[in-house]
Amino acid sequence: MGGDYKIAAHTTIMAEAALTNNDVNTFSSFGKSGDVGFAGTLNFHNVAYLQDSALSKGNAWKVITDVGYEGVQKNFSPIERYRSVEFSRDWNRTSDSIFDDQNILNTSLAIGNRKDMLSYGFQAFLEGGNYNATRQSALLKVNEGRLNLNLSGSLLNTQATTDKSQYYKEMGVISYRISKWTVGTGEGTENDIFRSRRTDSIITTSSSLFEQASTFQYIKWNAFIRSADTSKVSYGINYEERTDFGAQNDYMTKSLFSRNISFDFKALKNPRSRFKANITYHILDVADSTIAQGQQPVNALVGQMQYDLNAAHGLIFSSTYYQAGSGLQPKESYVYVQVAQGQGNYAWTDFNHDGVQELNEFYVSPFQDQNDYIRVYTPTNQFIKTYTSGITETFSIRPSAVWNNKGGIRSFISRFSEQLAYHVDRKTTSTDPLSAYNPFLNQPGDTNVVGLNTSLRNTIFFNQLNPKFGADYSYSDAINKTVLQETGTQARENRYNELHGRYNLSTKWMLEADGKAGNDISNSGYFASSNFNVQYSSIQPKLSYQPSTTFRVSVFYTYVTKLNIDSGGGSSIQQTYGSELRYNVLNKGSLLANFNFVLISFDGEASSPLGFEVLQGLNVGNNYTWGLTYQFNISQNIQMNLSYTGRSTPGSDVVNTGTMQVRAFF
């Protein structure tokens, strides 16, 4: 509970109190005295004007006084964080735990007006014999004419059971406007030193309440020149240097030295055509590798640009984002760790029957009950000098935005629309600038490419919003390539063409058809058994009956052919006869049931990466899968999902899986 009371026009008292009851021993009366905890705050705020605010037109000089107290008992157990995110860092505490009764005093005094301000603050943090600290802070702001000055700093002294620390930080920026330009310089320092209370020597990491907080120090400065912020076209350049220090032999020794120079440009005058760009050149030198262990020298270029276009009253929309850079990339390494059954993301099959779990024997199963493993990445000390380029493009054309009410050929063209989504994230070791920063050179077989993630999807719609008839054609191509420390390169590509159409026979009957043809390609630099190029095609007609908005039933047939055109061969034919029923009740829940009969023929090795890709967890012969999902609302913000799936495959026992999930929405 809390409240505030306005004593006078510019004086206010605010108070708040809280009680928690954390029953740590629910089924026993032992230790009940430690269950209940109290906390409270009391704050005083006063503003005293030194001149008539009406005469000064809102820029009156004033004195602001704040005094506050916060008390927290050691048994207080808050459910959620109530202190600021930077609270622990400001007090050199990385733990939010309450070890003893806490008493915090806050005082501050400020004098200033709307443009200029000078303030001083004092804080004390007392927590019995475990932790005691004082913190002083100061702030100076000056904004007079063309001059702008902003200075701030703080000094913290702490004392814990075995350690003590002194944390000093300050920053300042001064700038001056010359015509349409602003020139300025800034600096910043942080010096956080932990010492032993017994020997007064520097310790690199602290224990007790600090929980491995580290000693560190850095000094930085920068200089800049930029055009006016209010300009529709703005640009600027900034140069910065930073020196880092680390503890060695009871002294702070220089460990790293970095330099950055950056340039930025913005053209925002036309709201339908906006452009932004910036580029940064970064140099990092290692002065002492014994302190900066594992840190490598860096000589990197990083840049990015974005262009947004909305033309012809919505006919054309485009958003283009490009980035490029250089630096060091560690080789990736990972292991698979077994978790509770069905709670992971990967399944394991012993393809070569040797009883050893190998990296190429883990995969994502279409059946969740088989996913018993998670992938855990581990850092490596092997680095590769890489050049990075990436582009993200979204593009659409909607002729209906300008020709919706026109006749003739323009009316027919307005029925079409097009959407393009393209993304590339490419890393290469090539030093040729045309290759290093060209994101469109995305051949996965290029040995210089050490990381590649691309996706392209282009769809052309016809009668997209027509309730009677509609069709769309899509082309998709997705490539992923990584470099692993254990197995070298791993690449995967899936590209296809897809045609989809729908036709409403009546208000209750709808006919759909979907056709797809493409290639699924896997290329491993280490596991030859994981290499394949599966050429596939499929067709699926579907008939749906929907007499009302609450009930829908569908039947469909799918015919799929797959042929491995890589060495080793292998082909399959898969036919699926399926049905689906859906029943929805508004604001109450929904029921979904399905049953599928899957007939598969395959002339390759079923227990292989190719066999898994072709069979998708099923076996050759007659397969049956079924499922039932019931979702209902217990209350307005609580939802329950009950799900049951089953499958029967030749040579295996019937598998039945049930899950229950409860969701609460706040």
Q: Mind giving me the DSSP string for 315-372? A: TEEEEEEEEEEEEEEEPBEEEEEE-STT-SSBEE--TTSSS---GGGEE--SSGGG--
Q: What percent of the chain has pLDDT over 70?
A: 94
Residue 82 included in any domain:
no
Residue 590 pLDDT greater than 80, yes or no: yes
Q: What's the CA gap between 419 and 646, in Å, rounded?
A: 38
Residue 486 pLDDT greater than 60, yes or no: no
- pLDDT tens track for 354-393: 878 877 777 777 787 888 888 887 766 677 788 889 999 9
User: Of residues 628 and 313, which shows the higher confidence score?
Assistant: 628
- pLDDT tens track for 328-337: 777 667 788 8
- pLDDT tens track for 30-74: 767 788 999 999 999 999 988 776 565 567 899 999 999 999 999
Mean pLDDT of 499-508: 94
pLDDT at 387 (0 to 100): 87
Residue 295 pLDDT greater than 80, yes or no: no
Q: What's the CA gap between 620 and 570, in Å, rounded?
A: 13
Residue 120 included in any domain:
no
Q: What's the CA gap between 169 and 189, in Å, rounded?
A: 5
Domain count, the chain: 1
**Amino acid, single-letter form, for residue 206:** S
pLDDT at 556 (0 to 100): 96
pTM: 0.70
Residue 429 pLDDT greater than 90, yes or no: no
Count other C-beta atoms under 10 Å from residue 48's C-beta: 12
Residue 196 pLDDT greater than 70, yes or no: yes
User: What is the residue-averaged pLDDT of the chain?
Assistant: 88
pLDDT at 336 (0 to 100): 84
**pLDDT-derived band of residue 456, with 50, 70 and 90 as boundaries?**
very high
Mean pLDDT of 399-408: 84
**pLDDT-derived band of residue 208, with 50, 70 and 90 as boundaries?**
low
Q: What's the CA gap between 191 and 13, in Å, rounded?
A: 36
Residue 240 pLDDT greater than 80, yes or no: yes
Residue 483 pLDDT greater than 80, yes or no: no
Count other C-beta atoms under 10 Å from residue 96's C-beta: 11
Contact 615, 604 (CB under 8 A): no
Q: Cβ-count burial of 8 within 10 angstroms (0-12 exposed, 13-18 middle, 19+ buried)?
A: exposed
Rg (CA), the chain: 33
**Amino acid, single-letter form, for residue 348:** W
Contact 248, 216 (CB under 8 A): no
User: Of residues 210 and 272, which shows the higher confidence score?
Assistant: 272
pLDDT at 133 (0 to 100): 95
Residue 303 included in any domain:
no
Residue 519 pLDDT greater than 70, yes or no: yes
The closest alpha carbon to 138, from 165, 115, 108, 158, belongs to: 108
pLDDT at 86 (0 to 100): 86
Residue 132 included in any domain:
no
The closest alpha carbon to 487, from 352, 331, 649, belongs to: 331
Mean pLDDT of 552-571: 90
The closest alpha carbon to 514, from 537, 494, 530, 492, belongs to: 537
Mean pLDDT of 509-522: 94
- Range of the structural domain that residue 552 is part of: 505-666
Residue 595 included in any domain:
yes
Mean pLDDT of 584-595: 88
Contact 476, 495 (CB under 8 A): yes
pLDDT at 154 (0 to 100): 96
The closest alpha carbon to 536, from 569, 560, 502, 504, belongs to: 560
User: Of residues 353 and 547, which shows the higher confidence score?
Assistant: 547
- pLDDT tens track for 151-182: 999 999 999 888 899 999 999 999 999 988 99
**pLDDT-derived band of residue 211, with 50, 70 and 90 as boundaries?**
very low
pLDDT at 334 (0 to 100): 76
pLDDT at 126 (0 to 100): 95
Contact 133, 92 (CB under 8 A): yes
Contact 152, 139 (CB under 8 A): yes
Residue 513 pLDDT greater than 90, yes or no: yes
